[in-house]
């Protein structure tokens, strides 16, 4: 009984795997679709924004106070994934743009965000779930 | 499905005094409540509608039919009103299987968005009073998600805002069993902000929202692409290019749509424009290479694929694949033969 069905079943299996392989092949050779194009653009913008944020004078000051190497923090940003960058960028959206002249409370919020972000990036803390640790 | 909406004046005054005290308290907690403040809705709604220069005092979107909802069916009813306005003849009952989730006794926002796409319309979410009034003034009805109850006892409800009246301080909407209901702006905003002021435009792809921004519009049109509505997608990208002629994303999108519609020459032209806008980006070179190859322009196709590989980036593996395929299979007729072969065997 088993011997009888084993042949057609195995043929079917082999064949379905063949189809599977072909479809993957075809998908890979397709054109890059527009959603992917838009996502790639967004990532580029996010990366530039986060890098620019870490390059800001007041943010640098915080880093120096905390004894953090600014160049190292920038390197960590470069190694973040797209989704992580998007989340950081989104969190940054909720911070006031200027960072100075708005008030002490706002300044403190930026300060805490920067310290936690940087220490997270350096692997000292783990507050933001979106920061990956490469160690 | 209505929960008591109107309160007496005395209650309102007591309320506002209470809110003022709350205001002071929250100012102290500003720091913790930062995201709340910046979420786009006013925390304490004003009595009057926000004014904007050039916006009429009174506006009404024309041609929005009313469908009275059946029990729990506010989602399909609201979507049917918006779709019919946009030129799709459809009844709420036809939309129920597409948007209603029986287990939740309601319709999800994402389901409305998806159903709009399936009918060839662009779903464009908005948030806040400013865009809402601007869209209504432009003649666009807006589906809004309201919570008629409290945050801790929610009664979620979809309605369609079709007008406003600055002088009366009223918002006019088709909602539930009432056509053209006049709701005070204060009550409307109270119930609306519990959904973080979520609104949805359902538009024909060639019609840009009054408050359109480039990236969200392109993302909304790319949703049509995912459901295979290439003509609609092409129209949406075309509308984007009229407003933003230098939009890289729109040129890429129109190139992809034209390719799917078998207009290879126009597709190649669009990808060429995209390569000029972002000469350091490999993606347009990759897509251009595929089109050129199918046009039988092998030499140009190889050069373009080579350029994509040189530029690299996160999609380098795809670019390499393209280059190899063009090297291996020069003319597109051969490619078709290869692909057809196995399917013919399945039929036997």
Tokens coding B309 = 């590989």
How many C-beta atoms lie closer than 10 Å to residue B335's C-beta?
18
Tokens coding B241 = 């290019």
DSSP string, B62-93: SS----PPPTT-HHHHHHHHHHHHTT----HH
The position carrying tokens 């590989």 is B309
Query: Rounded distance, CA B291 to CA B265, Å?
Result: 8
Nearest CA in chain B to A40: B314
What is the predicted pLDDT for the residue at B270?
97
Condensed to tens digits (0 to 9), the pLDDT of residues A91-102 reads 776 665 444 444
Tokens coding A43 = 């990532």
Average pLDDT over residues A13-24: 55
Compare CB distances from B35 to A29, A38, A94 and report the shortest one's residue: A94
What is the predicted pLDDT for the residue at A17?
59
CATH 3.90.70.10 domain position(s) in chain B: 39-203
B147's enclosing H/E stretch is strand B142-147
Provide the pLDDT confidence category of residue A58 given band limits of 50, 70 and 90.
confident
- Residues in A closer than 8 angstroms to B38, CB to CB, are 93-94
Tell me if B30 and A105 make a contact (CB, 8 A cut-off). Answer: yes
Residues 6 or more apart whose Cβ sits within 8 Å of residue B266: B258
Q: What is the ipTM of this complex?
A: 0.70
Tell me if B339 and A26 make a contact (CB, 8 A cut-off). Answer: yes
What is the predicted pLDDT for the residue at B134?
94
Provide the pLDDT confidence category of residue A29 given band limits of 50, 70 and 90.
low
Tell whether B190 lies on the interface with A, counting CB pairs under 8 A.
no
- Residues in A closer than 8 angstroms to B259, CB to CB, are 31
Query: Rounded distance, CA A1 to CA A22, Å?
Result: 32
Topology (CATH) of B214-347: 1.25.40
Is residue B82 within 8 A of residue B175, CB to CB? The reply is: no
Name the residue ranges covered by the structural domains of chain A: 1-30, 37-135
CATH 1.25.40.10 domain position(s) in chain B: 214-347
Q: Looking at CA atoms only, how far is residue A70 from chain B in angstroms?
A: 25
Is residue B6 within 8 A of residue B13, CB to CB? The reply is: no
Residues 6 or more apart whose Cβ sits within 8 Å of residue A102: A96
Mutate to test the interface with B, among A29, A31, A94, A112 (most CBs of B within 10 A): A31
**N residues, chain B:** 348
Compare CB distances from B283 to A26, A32, A105 and report the shortest one's residue: A32
Tell me if B315 and A36 make a contact (CB, 8 A cut-off). Answer: yes
Q: What are phi and psi of A99, to 5 degrees?
A: 90, -15
What is the predicted pLDDT for the residue at A112?
65
Q: What is the pLDDT along chain B (348 residues), one digit of tens a residue?
A: 433 333 333 444 444 444 454 555 444 444 444 444 444 444 455 567 887 888 898 999 999 999 988 888 899 999 999 999 999 999 999 999 999 888 888 888 889 999 999 999 999 999 999 999 999 999 999 999 998 887 777 888 999 999 999 888 999 999 989 889 999 999 999 899 888 899 999 999 999 999 999 999 999 999 999 889 999 999 999 999 999 999 999 999 999 999 999 999 999 999 999 999 999 999 999 999 999 999 999 999 999 999 999 998 889 999 999 999 998 875 544 444 444 344 333 333
Q: Looking at CA atoms only, how far is residue A44 from chain B in angstroms?
A: 11
CA-atom Rg of chain A in angstroms: 24
β-pair partners for B143: B160, B200
Tell whether B321 lies on the interface with A, counting CB pairs under 8 A.
yes
What is the predicted pLDDT for the residue at A94?
65
State the DSSP code for B150. Answer: B
Topology (CATH) of B39-203: Cathepsin B; Chain A (3.90.70)
């Amino acid at each position: 009984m088993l011997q009888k069905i084993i042949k057609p079943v195995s043929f079917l299996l082999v064949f379905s795997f063949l189809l599977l392989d072909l479809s993957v092949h075809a998908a890979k050779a397709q054109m890059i679709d527009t959603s992917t194009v838009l996502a790639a653009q967004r990532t580029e913008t996010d990366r530039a924004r986060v890098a620019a944020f870490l390059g800001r004078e007041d943010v640098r000051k915080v880093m120096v106070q905390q004894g953090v190497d600014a160049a190292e923090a920038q390197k960590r940003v470069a190694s973040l994934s797209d989704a992580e960058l998007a989340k950081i960028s989104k969190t940054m959206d909720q911070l006031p743009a200027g960072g100075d002249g708005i008030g002490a409370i706002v300044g403190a919020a930026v300060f805490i965000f920067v310290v936690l972000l940087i220490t997270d990036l350096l692997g000292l803390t783990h507050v933001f779930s979106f920061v990956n640790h490469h160690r | 499905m209505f929960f008591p909406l109107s309160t007496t004046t005395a209650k309102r005054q007591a309320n506002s005094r209470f809110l003022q005290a709350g205001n002071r308290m929250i100012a102290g907690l500003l720091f913790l409540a930062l995201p709340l403040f910046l979420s786009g809705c006013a925390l304490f709604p004003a009595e009057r509608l926000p004014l904007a220069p050039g916006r009429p005092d009174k506006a009404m979107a024309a041609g929005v039919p009313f469908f009275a909802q059946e029990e729990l069916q506010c989602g399909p009813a609201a979507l049917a009103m918006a779709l019919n306005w946009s030129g799709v003849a459809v009844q709420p009952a036809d939309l129920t299987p597409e948007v209603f989730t029986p287990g939740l006794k309601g319709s999800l926002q994402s389901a409305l968005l998806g159903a709009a796409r399936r009918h060839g319309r662009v779903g464009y979410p908005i948030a806040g009073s400013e865009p809402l009034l601007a869209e209504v003034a432009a003649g666009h009805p807006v589906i809004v998600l309201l919570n008629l109850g409290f945050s801790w006892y929610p009664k979620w409800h979809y309605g369609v805002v079709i007008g406003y009246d600055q002088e009366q301080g009223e918002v006019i909407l088709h909602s539930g069993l009432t056509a053209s209901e006049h709701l005070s702006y204060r009550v409307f905003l109270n119930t609306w902000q519990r959904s973080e002021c979520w609104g949805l435009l359902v538009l024909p792809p060639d019609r840009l929202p009054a408050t359109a921004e480039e990236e969200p519009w392109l993302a909304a049109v790319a949703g049509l692409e995912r459901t295979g509505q290439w003509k609609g997608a092409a129209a949406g990208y075309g509308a984007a290019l009229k407003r933003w002629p230098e939009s890289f994303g729109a040129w890429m999108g129109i190139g992809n749509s034209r390719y799917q519609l078998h207009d290879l020459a126009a597709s190649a032209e669009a990808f060429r424009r995209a390569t000029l806008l972002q000469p350091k980006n490999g993606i347009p070179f990759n897509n251009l290479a595929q089109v050129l190859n199918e046009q039988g322009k092998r030499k140009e196709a190889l050069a373009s694929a080579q350029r994509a590989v040189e530029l690299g980036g996160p999609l380098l593996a795809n670019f390499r694949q393209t280059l190899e395929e063009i090297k291996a299979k020069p003319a597109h007729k051969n490619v078709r033969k290869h692909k057809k072969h196995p399917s013919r065997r399945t039929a036997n």
